[in-house]
Amino acid sequence: MTTRTPRHRPAAEGGYQRGEETRAKIIEAALSLFGERGFEGASTRDIAEHAGVNAPALVYYFDNKEGVYQACVEYIMANVADYFADAVEAAQAVLDANPSDDALIDAFRAIQARVASYLFTTETPATWRLFMAREQAGLGPAFAAERLNERMRKPLLSVSSEIVGRLLGRPADDPETVIRLLAINGQLVSFHLTRCTALAALQWKSIDGERLKQLCAIIDEQSVVLLRAMIEWREANSKRRKKK
């Protein structure tokens, strides 16, 4: 599906601030309804009503439902990309410096700590979580998934997979590299996506304070064990190749 970039216009000449406020209301309403009902289940009429505007206003700012959805994606991406930008840059600087294995592990741990901070300490609205949960499950439009991957997921995954690839002695895009990376990252993601199940199993009411420290410390410890095991595997594999 080909979509045009949604228009970005004020409500009227001299009314830029009011136009931005209206636009923001529509995006917030759309995030809520798309999260609850999915792309197909939320109509432009419902979104406009939820935002407290008339249907022509939605068309004026976004053209159509695809435009509204794309604006929701761009809105979330801008916030998330900014949150991880310095961590990605720091990791890339390590990769560019011919690092030791310990430096690679520390770079990975720093990224993982930033992910944990985002998942558990940022005040992410529930509407965002529902919206992104659908995206993670592949239930959103294809054009949105492609944009999210290019702008938000790819930068973080690229540096992380490069780190894991070097520790393994494999290319960053090798299936084994990617699988091992996703498996490590799954430690945090599972607690985030199945939070209710995790809280029930732990008999906790929330994940914050000392409980968050405990969770992150254990995941960090397990990640280091797995990353060092990759180094051992790489060295053992190198020795086998030399004997042949």
Tell me the pLDDT tens digit for each residue of 99-110. Answer: 999 999 999 999
Q: What is the mean pLDDT of the chain?
A: 86
Closest-CA residue to 163 (of 239, 86, 225, 93) = 93
Residues 220-236, mean pLDDT to the nearest whole number:
96
Dihedral angle, C-alpha 97, 100, 105, 106, nearest 10 °:
-60
Q: Of 206 and 141, which is predicted with more confidence?
A: 206
Structure tokens at 99: 């690092």
Res 2: pLDDT: 41
Banded model confidence at residue 82, pLDDT cuts 50, 70, 90: confident
Tell me what pLDDT residue 15 has: 52
| Cβ-Cβ contacts under 8 Å for 184 (sequence gap 6 or more) | 112, 164, 223, 226, 227
Which pLDDT score is estimated for 194? 83
Residue 124 is predicted with a pLDDT of: 66
- Summarised one tens digit per residue, pLDDT across range 114-137 is 999 888 887 766 677 778 777 777
- % pLDDT > 90, the chain: 57
Model pTM score? 0.75
Query: 124 to each of 76, 84, 117, 224, how far by Cα in Å?
Result: 10, 15, 11, 28
With beta carbons less than 8 A apart as the criterion, state whether 75 and 66 touch.
no
Share of the chain above pLDDT 70, in %: 87
> Using an 8 Å Cβ cutoff, are 242 and 174 in contact?
no
- Per residue in 32-66, pLDDT tens? 999 889 899 999 999 999 999 999 999 999 999 99
- Of 153, 172, 7, nearest to 88 (Cα)? 153
Complete domains list, the chain, with CATH: 16-63 (1.10.10.60), 70-243 (1.10.357.10)
Q: How far is CA 48 from CA 15, 53, 193, 210, in A?
A: 20, 5, 29, 43
Give the per-residue pLDDT at 129. Answer: 74
Residue 142 has pLDDT above 60, yes or no: yes
**Residue 9: pLDDT band by 50, 70, 90 thresholds?**
low
> 20-57: b or e for each residue (b if 16 or more CB lie within 10 Å)?
eebbebbbbbbbbbbbeeebeebebeebbebbebeeeb
